[in-house]
């Protein structure tokens, strides 16, 4: 079973080996079912396929039509791509007869090809249409939203998703400018923000936080992340692993709190007459927290803010009824039970 080599898309997959190794694909688990929630340009997926056994299966998700086109070049029969948000993971796997998986990998944020393509509207350094949609086939573009959103709503988005302390000034400048002419390009928005942000962080463009905020809002990134974390946990088989790479504090905070909530359960007062067997038990074990090496950051500066968090579902957190014991493996692989 062979996979195609990763083409040159001017994209370096961050924490490639570390993320795939974190899923511990070995032994019987090599023939399990895995999910790549963010295909991107396929770096992680191709590495996962190289580690899977002949009976393994990989389901990947992505909202970007260009990513889907790249994924469709992979002819490996163990691989399938789903053109949708990873927030639809449970429904998509159910449609395929899958109720459990052995590992889930999420590489959050946007890819270098998306940033470097001016027509996508993600970059304030390149002039292009103000789009910012990861899925250009559906939803509202950034330009459309900015044309109708209230000043208060713009301020809230820029403050909450960009952590911009000049959110009020940015929102006011946007509303003032659009009353004169529509804001339709990335350069126009960057210039408006630059006029409103009076002090800049060293090494950062004044538009950085506002562009991040609008992109996150337009694509519902944080809402989808909260949804997929819960779905991934519920789908994981006993000993299954979840690996998440985040690139900014808002994402990492959500991931960190979710995993901590599953791994650290509050214990009742020791003086209460509660049997040990009835005490709340952790549902996950925190496995690792990793950052890119100095060498990787030197080769790919965009990796510098990445954080990989890994957790494993504990067997005690999964109750398997006798009627499901025989069919459990079949449900995970999509094959008939013997």
Give me the phi and psi of 221, to 5 degrees please: -65, -45
In 3-state terms, what secondary structure has residue 106? strand
CA dist list (Å): 303 to 112, 222, 251, 310, 311: 11, 20, 15, 18, 21
Q: Is 42 annotated as a binding residue?
A: yes
- Encoded tokens for 233: 């946990």
The vertex-312 CA angle with 29 and 15, nearest 5°, equals 80
- Encoded tokens for 232: 């991934």
In 3-state terms, what secondary structure has residue 122? coil
Burial of 163: CB neighbours in 10 Å, binned 0-12, 13-18, 19+: middle
Q: Is 103 annotated as a binding residue?
A: no
Q: Is 114 annotated as a binding residue?
A: yes
CA dist list (Å): 120 to 14, 102, 107, 114, 264: 21, 34, 19, 6, 41
* Spatial distance between the Cα atoms of 147 and 178, rounded to a whole number of angstroms: 7
Q: Is 97 annotated as a binding residue?
A: no
Q: Is 62 annotated as a binding residue?
A: yes
Give me the phi and psi of 305, to 5 degrees please: -95, 0
285: which strand partners?
Answer: 312
Residue 207 in contact with residue 189, Cβ under 8 Å?
A: yes
Which positions make up the binding site for S-adenosyl-L-methionine?
42-44, 62, 86, 107, 114
Annotated binding site: 42-44, 62, 86, 107, 114
């Amino acid at each position: 079973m062979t996979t195609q080599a990763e083409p040159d898309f001017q994209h370096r997959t961050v924490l490639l080996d570390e993320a795939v190794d974190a899923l511990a694909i070995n032994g019987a688990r090599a023939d399990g079912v895995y999910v790549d929630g963010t295909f991107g340009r396929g770096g992680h997926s191709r590495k996962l396929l190289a580690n899977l056994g002949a009976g393994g299966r990989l389901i990947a998700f992505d909202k970007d039509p260009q990513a889907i086109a790249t994924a469709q070049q992979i002819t490996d029969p163990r691989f399938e791509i789903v053109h949708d948000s990873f927030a639809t993971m449970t429904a998509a796997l159910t449609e395929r007869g899958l109720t459990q998986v052995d590992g889930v990998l999420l590489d959050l944020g946007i890819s270098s090809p998306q940033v470097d393509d001016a027509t996508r509207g993600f970059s304030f350094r390149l002039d292009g249409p103000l789009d910012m949609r990861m899925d250009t086939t559906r939803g509202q573009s950034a330009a459309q939203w900015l044309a109708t959103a209230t000043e208060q709503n713009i301020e809230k988005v820029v403050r909450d998703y960009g952590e911009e302390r000049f959110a009020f000034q940015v929102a006011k400048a946007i509303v003032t400018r659009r009353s004169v002419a529509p804001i339709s390009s990335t350069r126009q928005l960057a210039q408006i923000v630059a006029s409103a942000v009076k002090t800049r962080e060293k090494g950062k463009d004044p538009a950085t936080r506002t562009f991040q905020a609008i992109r996150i809002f337009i694509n519902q990134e944080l809402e989808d992340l909260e949804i997929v974390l819960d779905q991934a946990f519920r789908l994981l088989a006993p000993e299954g692993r979840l690996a998440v790479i985040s690139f900014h504090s808002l994402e990492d905070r959500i991931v960190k709190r979710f995993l901590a909530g599953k791994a650290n359960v509050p214990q009742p007062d020791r003086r209460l007459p509660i049997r040990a067997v009835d005490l709340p038990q952790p549902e996950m074990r925190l496995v690792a927290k990793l950052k890119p090496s100095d060498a990787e950051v030197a080769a790919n500066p965009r990796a510098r803010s990445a954080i990989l968090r890994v957790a494993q579902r504990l067997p005690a957190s999964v109750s398997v009824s006798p009627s499901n014991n025989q069919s459990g493996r079949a449900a995970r692989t999509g094959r008939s039970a013997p």
